[in-house]
Amino acid sequence: MKAFPFSLDGVAKDWLYLQPILFNTWGDMKHMFLEKFFPVSKTATIRKEICGIRKHFGETLHESINGQDTSSSKASDLQYGKQHAAIWDQMS
């Protein structure tokens, strides 16, 4: 728990330091952080997008994931999903 603030940047770091002491355990802090930055609705949307990816014959997995228009919201949601997964893994 002591190292967690060093993994944050920007708004997330500001949020942590501006919080009055509302949590006494790692679980309390984890719950509040995820509720603030990764609401269930966003997680469900990203999961649905990821589950909807289809690989076509002759296409590599990399192409099927990254072959999307990078200006689309799907591409940005996938990037958000990757970041979310990385943060979730760090917190678990």
**Domain residue spans of the chain:** 1-37, 39-92
pLDDT digits (tens, 9 = 90+) for 56-80: 788 887 777 776 544 455 555 556 6
Q: Is the pLDDT of residue 25 over 80?
A: yes
d(CA 37, CA 4) in angstroms, rounded, equals: 15
45 to each of 10, 16, 89, how far by Cα in Å?
24, 26, 19
Q: Say what the pTM is.
A: 0.46
pLDDT at 71: 43
